[in-house]
Amino acid sequence: MTLKLNKIAKYESNNFFLLAGPCAIEDRDLALRIAEKITSICSKLEIPYVFKGSYRKANRTKADSFTGIGDEKALKILEEVSKTFGIPTVTDIHETKEAELAAAYVDVLQIPAFLCRQTELLEAAAKTGKAVNIKKGQFLSGASMGFAIEKIKSVNPEVQGMLTDRGNSFGYSDLVVDYRNLVDMKEFGAPIVMDCTHSLQKPNQSSGVTGGNPKMISTIAKAAIAVGADGLFIETHPDPANAKSDGANMLHLDNLEQLLVDLVRIREAIS
């Protein structure tokens, strides 16, 4: 399934598309540095690319966790990334009032997994006319996500919807990926994405800081492409250990290119 965005590159290679970047917008220079490197890699490999960065983090365990550098400041950085590299951008929204605000700066509005059943939030995102990426709740099956697509289509039949799997809750501090969810979600006619980093989180740690298992990112990504995912979501950072959000499950930026090379080969093999 093709992702239809005005700025996204169109290639004849039938590659998957990529949503990638830091978990949160930490500062301008870092965002531009990450975007430049990933844009260069994706151009070489002919992978359609969307830059990802949360302008504000609302789902944090501890009250003193980093939430952002300021809404307008972060959104303007996302806008600058888009204009500088000619690529679309995606960011999360958490409340209905955020939809119109974020839509003025980015191309894709992302609905966090915990909020995928929030009807008014989905409708507000669809009303902006921007593409909407809905993350599947950790508590839901892939087959149930058709209702989320129905909600945005009922408001705007032309809106580009996407469905992203990020694992299912398994016990109190782990997630498990069931690839049947990708197959089930394909039935709804929207591009299907695998979140290769959040699906490896280890939430609810007693320290109040979410853990992760980044060494398994390539395994999750390769299996997703083999199953037929249309896109991949990967959070990446040049220094994950010092990232201000979700560093424990991010891919080191230096390891992204070889992973994408391997994934392109898998995609070619199954095409």
Kindly state whether residue 43 falls inside one of the protein's structural domains. Answer: yes
Structural domains in the chain (count): 1
Residue percentage of the chain with pLDDT more than 90: 79
Mean pLDDT over 237-241 rounds to: 92
Model confidence at 84, pLDDT cuts 50, 70, 90, reads: very high
Q: Is residue 124 part of a domain?
A: yes
Check: CB of residue 59 under 8 Å from CB of residue 67: no
Judge residue 135's burial from the number of C-beta atoms within 10 Å of its C-beta, 0-12 exposed, 13-18 middle, 19 or more buried: buried
| DSSP secondary structure, 221-245, as one string | HHHHHHHT-SEEEEEEES-GGG-SS
- For residue 114, being part of any structural domain is answered with yes
Sign of CA dihedral 139, 142, 146, 148: positive
Q: Is residue 244 part of a domain?
A: yes
Residue 3 lies inside a defined structural domain of this protein: no
Residues 6 or more apart whose CB falls under 8 angstroms from that of 265 comprise: none
Of residues 263 and 13, more confidence is placed in 263
Predicted confidence at residue 208, as pLDDT, reads 44
Span 147-156, mean pLDDT? 97
For residue 149, give its domain range. 17-270
Tell whether 11 is covered by a domain. no
Q: Report residue 237's pLDDT band, with 50, 70 and 90 as the boundaries.
A: very high
Q: How far apart are CA 71 and CA 80, in angstroms?
A: 14
> Rounded to two decimals, what is the model's pTM?
0.94
- pLDDT tens sequence across 160-181: 999 999 999 987 778 999 999 9
Are 39 and 88 in contact by the 8 Å Cβ rule? The answer is no
pLDDT in tens, 31-57: 999 999 999 999 999 999 999 999 998
In terms of pLDDT, which residue wins out, 203 or 129? Answer: 129
CATH number at residue 184: 3.20.20.70
pLDDT of residue 209 exceeding 80, the answer is no
Averaged confidence pLDDT in the chain: 92
